[in-house]
Homo-oligomer: A and B are copies of this chain.
Amino acid sequence: MSKHAAEPHISHADERRKALVEAAYQCIAGKGFSGLRTRDVAAQVGITHATLHYYFPTKVALIQAVIDYAVFQRLLQNVPHYEGNTPLEQIHRFLTVLQQRMREDPSNYLVLYELVRSAPNEPVIQEALAQRDIFADWHARLVSLIEAGIAQGQFRADLDPGSAASILITFILGLGMTLLVSVPVSDEMLVQLERLLTG
């Protein structure tokens, strides 16, 4: 079938499907969720919108694949591993990597924004997002890291882990917004924010 049989069988259909998902992803990043048109997505890959339905029976199916791609392949798979020795180092790395990625590829953030914004009105998205509550995961992980930091004496003793974790996540969410509005952003921000923990 394929010219090179050595690869783990990546069929033409799989490639097309992936290309379509990525095209849809870019469309959402560019024109928003509501601006998504199957005709545009198909045209971007060089096929008709009728052919798109050969790969995805319905627009919803395409959207679900996009969500999957956005959440599980672009966001989660690249989630920072909290590498580092001390809790501070791990949190630092977490924040740094997220910020860096946000700058390098803002589309991921824009698409995620679109998803959470549209979720209340679109059951499909709502379900897909509820399947894996990223922010709850982040929060839990940060709380335990902060608790560890307090226990080790690295963080301030009077720090409330829950609130501090919420501050960090809220900050990350806000960082995403700065892609859209003009707020001066610098690396110094992270440095200062971390002082919140260490005091």
Which of chain B's residues have a CB closer than 8 A to the CB of A183? Answer: 135, 139, 166, 169-170, 173
A residues 128-163 touching B (CB-CB < 8 Å): 133, 135-136, 139, 159-160, 162-163
Which of chain B's residues have a CB closer than 8 A to the CB of A136? Answer: 182
Distance in Å: Cβ of A133 to nearest Cβ of chain B: 6
How many A residues touch the partner, as a band? 35 or more
Stretch from A16-24, A25-33, A46-54 that touches the partner = A25-33
When A and B form their complex, which 4 residue pairs have the shortest distance between CB atoms, in order from nearest? Answer: A34-B34, A174-B174, A173-B174, A170-B174
Q: List 18 A-B contacts (CB under 8 A).
A: A30-B121, A32-B118, A32-B121, A113-B117, A133-B182, A135-B183, A162-B186, A162-B188, A163-B188, A169-B174, A169-B183, A170-B171, A170-B183, A171-B174, A173-B183, A177-B177, A193-B196, A195-B196
Distance in Å: Cβ of A158 to nearest Cβ of chain B: 9
Copies in the complex: 4
Distance in Å: Cβ of A162 to nearest Cβ of chain B: 6
Given contacts A117-B180, A166-B184, contact A160 B33 (CB under 8 A): no
Which of chain B's residues have a CB closer than 8 A to the CB of A118? Answer: 32
* Distance in angstroms between the alpha carbons of A121 and B31 in the assembled complex: 7
* Distance in angstroms between the alpha carbons of A119 and B182 in the assembled complex: 12
> Is A175 engaged at the interface, CB distance under 8 Å to the other chain?
yes
Asked if residues A184 and B139 are in contact (CB atoms below 8 Å), the reply is: yes
* Distance in angstroms between the alpha carbons of A32 and B173 in the assembled complex: 19
> Is A73 engaged at the interface, CB distance under 8 Å to the other chain?
no
* Distance in angstroms between the alpha carbons of A13 and B170 in the assembled complex: 43
Given contacts A116-B181, A181-B116, contact A186 B166 (CB under 8 A): yes
Identify 7 new A-B residue pairs, CB closer than 8 A, beyond the known A116-B181, A172-B174: A117-B180, A159-B192, A169-B174, A170-B171, A173-B181, A174-B177, A177-B177
